[in-house]
Amino acid sequence: MMDRYTLLQKVGIYAAIAVFLTFVLLPFFEMFMASLRPLEHLFRSPYQFWSDDFSFDAYSQMWVTVPLLGRYIWNSIYIASMVTGLTMIFVIPAAYAFARLEFPFKNATLAAFLGVNMFTGAVLLIPLYRVLRTMGLLNTYWAMIVPGVAFLIPTGIWLLRSYLEKNSARAGRSRFCGWCNAHLHPAPCGSTACGSGINRSWRIGIHRRICPTISIRNHIQPRTRAATAACGIVRIHRLSVGDLE
């Protein structure tokens, strides 16, 4: 594919990619460098990008600061995996139906899904907390799994539906997916949209902070065994800043 470009065009393409990757990867590099510096260096003015006293002590000290951090990390992995799996179970057949079948109120339902995505999670904090408390789900894994799946289903349906509509002919000739009826020419397994949906579900599940905040009482206390890695990070930060004060 690259053979159709001249040498100058290839240089321009790779230069543009290098610039893009610099802006994408530089924050991660700075995050890693900041983790090697003493905490008081982060509040210096002017800010110093390079320091002579780099140390990996923070990576060992965090297990002492938050004894249950390992449990928190496992909770995040478990919740992210459950959210991803359950989301795919609901999204794949629903997206197939929206892409290949005709039924009443199809467009209205898709518009409702799009409208749901326009609301940020912070707007739903109070009603979500009241619902979880009424259902008795506070301080449980399901208090984070159920909202995570509910918030991701509309986005997942839109992503996979668009893929199926644009690749209808190719999907019909591809190998069958075990989720669908073998007589209906379903989408190929491992499709780009499926991968995008899984990746998005995993990332949101692993980094979600709103649900743990409202569904885990005393979420910064070390005795809370249902908290996630995000809660552990909050505790590390609060204790560290408190030591400085």
Q: Which of 13, 29, 55 lies at the terminal end of a domain, its last residue?
A: 55
Provide the domain limits for residue 44. Answer: 2-55
Are residue 14 and residue 106 in the same domain, yes or no?
Answer: no
What is d(CA 98, CA 105) in angstroms, rounded to the nearest whole number?
11
Specify the DSSP class assigned to residue 43. G
What is d(CA 88, CA 102) in angstroms, rounded to the nearest whole number?
22
Are residue 74 and residue 187 in the same domain, yes or no?
Answer: yes
Other beta carbons within 10 angstroms of residue 119's beta carbon come to 10
In a domain, 63, yes or no: no
Are residue 120 and residue 91 in the same domain, yes or no?
Answer: yes
Are residue 177 and residue 72 in the same domain, yes or no?
Answer: yes
Q: Which of 30, 55, 80 lies at the terminal end of a domain, its last residue?
A: 55
Are residue 162 and residue 225 in the same domain, yes or no?
Answer: yes
At 182-197, the pLDDT tens digits run: 444 444 444 455 555 5
In a domain, 30, yes or no: yes
Are residue 139 and residue 97 in the same domain, yes or no?
Answer: yes
In a domain, 243, yes or no: no
Domain count, the chain: 2
What is d(CA 175, CA 218) in angstroms, rounded to the nearest whole number?
49
The predicted pLDDT at position 19 comes to 96
In a domain, 202, yes or no: yes
Residue 159 CA from chain centroid, whole number: 15
The predicted pLDDT at position 225 comes to 63
In a domain, 240, yes or no: no
Q: Which residue type does 10 have?
A: K
At 62-104, the pLDDT tens digits run: 888 888 888 999 999 999 999 999 999 999 999 999 888 888 9
Biggest alpha carbon–alpha carbon distance for the chain? 67
CATH, residue 98 = 1.10.3720.10
In a domain, 238, yes or no: no
At 144-159, the pLDDT tens digits run: 899 889 888 988 998 8
Are residue 95 and residue 195 in the same domain, yes or no?
Answer: yes
The predicted pLDDT at position 184 comes to 42
Are residue 172 and residue 194 in the same domain, yes or no?
Answer: yes
At 9-56, the pLDDT tens digits run: 889 999 999 999 999 999 999 888 888 887 777 777 777 777 777 888
At 199-242, the pLDDT tens digits run: 555 555 555 545 555 555 544 444 456 666 666 666 665 555 45
Are residue 41 and residue 118 in the same domain, yes or no?
Answer: no
Q: Which of 27, 55, 83 lies at the terminal end of a domain, its last residue?
A: 55
Are residue 79 and residue 190 in the same domain, yes or no?
Answer: yes
18's tokens: 């290098």
Are residue 176 and residue 148 in the same domain, yes or no?
Answer: yes
What is d(CA 140, CA 146) in angstroms, rounded to the nearest whole number?
11
Whole-model pTM? Answer: 0.62
Q: Are the C-beta atoms of residues 195 and 116 closer than 8 Å to each other? A: no
In a domain, 245, yes or no: no
Are residue 96 and residue 28 in the same domain, yes or no?
Answer: no
The predicted pLDDT at position 174 comes to 47
In a domain, 242, yes or no: no
Q: Examine residue 46 and say whether the peptide bond preceding it is cis (omega within 30 degrees of 0).
A: yes
